[in-house]
Amino acid sequence: MEARITPKKALISATNKELIKDFALGLDKLGVEIFSTKGTCAFLKGIGVNAKSVEEYINFPEILDGRVKTLHPKIFGAILSKRTEAHRAQAKEHGMHEFDIVCVDLYAFRDAVAGGADLDNALEHIDIGGIALIRASAKSFKNVTILVDADDFNKVLSEIKEGGISFETRKRLALKAFRHSSAYDYAIASYLADNDMPLRYGENPHQKAFYIGADSYVEKVLKGEPSYNNLLDLDGSAELCFGLDKMGYKYAAVIVKHGSPCGIGVSDKNITEAFTKAWDCDPTSSYGGVLTISTAPDQDLLEAMKGKFVEVLCAPKFPDGFLSATESRKKLKILKLNKDTVLKTGVTRRSACGGILEQGKDDWWNDSSNPEIFKHVSTRPASKDEMTAVKLGWAGTAGTKSNSIVIASPNRILGIGGGCVSRIDATSMAVTKARMVISETGDKGPYIRASDGFLPFADSVATAKELGVTAIVEPGGSIRDEEVIEACNKADIALIFTGKRHFRH
C-alpha cells in the first residue's frame, strides 16, 4: 500500500489566476510553502498568500518576454527527483527543493484560435514550460501531485486535511494530466495542419462546437462554412463513396442526411448519372444532404443539381473554374477531400460515457474481392445479375446505420431502411421507398434484399417475395437459419450468407 503524502512545497503557475485563488489560500493555511512564477506570485501576495518567487529560487530571471520562466534544472530536478538517498544528495548539492504539488494552467490556445488569432498570436499561445511541468509531474506521480483542473482542488485540500494525498488520487490526477497535455498538443497539430476550425454551433444552436482535424481527410474548405452536423454526415458519406470506388465502381455518389445514407448511386458512364441515381433513391430525404462524389464534378453535374438543394458537395478534386461556376448557389458548401486517406485510418474513435471508444475499422469494401464471403446456402444459387446486385446492396448496408435493410438491382440502390431499432421497421422503410423508385424509374431488376444483421424469422422472406425480391444476402448465424433457408427454397429465392455482419451505431 503506497503511503499518503503530506505536501510541504508546491509550485503554482497560472494563466487564469482567479481559478487558483481559493486553492492557494487553502494550501497556505495548511502550511504548504508556495513557489510561483512572476505574475502568479504577485497575484498571490496581493491576496495575502505568503508566496515565494521562482526567480529568486533558481537565481535566474524570466527572459524573452516571459517565454522562459520555469525551464531550469532546479525546477525540474525538484519534480523529477525520486526522493532516494542518491537523488536527495544531488538535490542538496545543487540547492534544489522537492515540489510535492504542481498546479499548472496552460495558455488558452484553443480560445485564441477560436477568437480569430493570426499565426503570430496563435504561436504565442502555445505553452511550452507548462506542458513540460505537467509531463514531468505526471511522470513523477509517486511523489508529486499534478493539478490541471480546478475541479480537483477541493478534493486535494480535503485529503491533505485527512492526513495526506493518497496514491490513488495522485495516479488519477496523473492520468488526467497526460490526457490534458495530449489534447492540447492535438489542438496545436490540428491548427498547424490548417484543419482546425471553430464551428457556428454544435448539433443545436445553443451548443458550442469546434473541429479539431489533425488527422482529417478534409483537405480544404473551398466554399462556405461547414457545420457540426455537416461534418458528421460527411464522415459516413465519404467512407461509403470511396469504399464503392475501391470496389471498382467507376463513378459513385452518396448522399447522407442525419447520419445515414438516403441516396447511393453508381455508374459506368459518368458522375452525373451516379448522382441522379443517388438523388432518385429518395428525393425527399436527399434535400439538404451532404453529397460526396468519387471523382471531379463537371458542368453536367451542376446542371443535374439545378432545383435540387445539396448543402455540401465533397470531392477529391475540382476542375479549374468550377468554384466560379457555383457562385449563384449561395448556400452550397464545397470541401476538397484527400481520397487516399479516407479508408486508410486503422481505427475509429468516438466519445462515449465521458471516455473514448476505439475499434479497428470495418473494411467492408474488401468483401467484394473475397470469394469466401458470399456463400450460397439455398437450393438455387444466385444468378450473375443477382450477385451484381447483392454486392452493391451489401455495401449499402455496411454504410447505413443499424438496423439497415437495402433493396437493390444490378444498376441501382432502390430503397434504404436505416437507423431503425427494429429490423421489421427497416424492412418496411426500404420496401416502401423501393416501390416508389421502381414505379418512377421502371427498373426491371432482378431485385435483391441485403441486411446488415441476420434475419431472425422466416416470415421476413414473405415480405421480400411480395416486392419481387429473388435473392437475399445476410450474415446468417440465427438459431432459425434453417427455417429461413427452407422459406427461401419454397419461394425460389437465392439465399447468401456472408458469415460477417456490418453493424453501424
Q: Say yes or no to pLDDT of 14 above 70.
A: yes
Choosing among 3.30.930.10, 3.30.1390.10, 3.40.140.20, 2.40.10.330, the CATH entry for 224-342 is 3.40.140.20
The answer to whether 350 touches 357, Cβ cutoff 8 Å, is yes
Domain boundaries along the sequence of the chain: 9-192, 224-342, 370-497
Q: Say yes or no to pLDDT of 41 above 90.
A: no
Q: Say yes or no to pLDDT of 278 above 70.
A: yes
With cut-offs at 50, 70 and 90, classify the pLDDT of residue 195. low
Residue 476's φ and ψ, nearest 5 degrees, are: 80, 180
Fold that domain 9-192 belongs to in CATH: Rossmann fold (3.40.50)
Q: Say yes or no to pLDDT of 292 above 70.
A: yes
Domain 370-497 has CATH 3.40.140.20: yes
Q: Say yes or no to pLDDT of 194 above 70.
A: no
Predicted pLDDT at 381: 96
Predicted pLDDT at 290: 97
Q: Say yes or no to pLDDT of 417 above 90.
A: yes
Same fold? 9-192, 224-342? no
What is the Cα–Cα distance from 77 to 256, expressed in whole angstroms? 55
Predicted pLDDT at 345: 67
DSSP string, 228-289: HHHHHHHHHHHHHHHHHHHTT-SEEEEEEETTEEEEEEEESS-HHHHHHHHHHH-HHHHTTE
Q: Say yes or no to pLDDT of 488 above 70.
A: yes
With cut-offs at 50, 70 and 90, classify the pLDDT of residue 165. very high
Q: Mean per-residue pLDDT for 392-400? A: 94
Predicted pLDDT at 472: 95
Mean per-residue pLDDT over the chain, rounded: 89
* Count of other CB atoms within 10 angstroms of residue 61: 11
Q: Which residues pair with 274 in a beta bridge?
A: none
The three-class DSSP label of residue 293 is strand
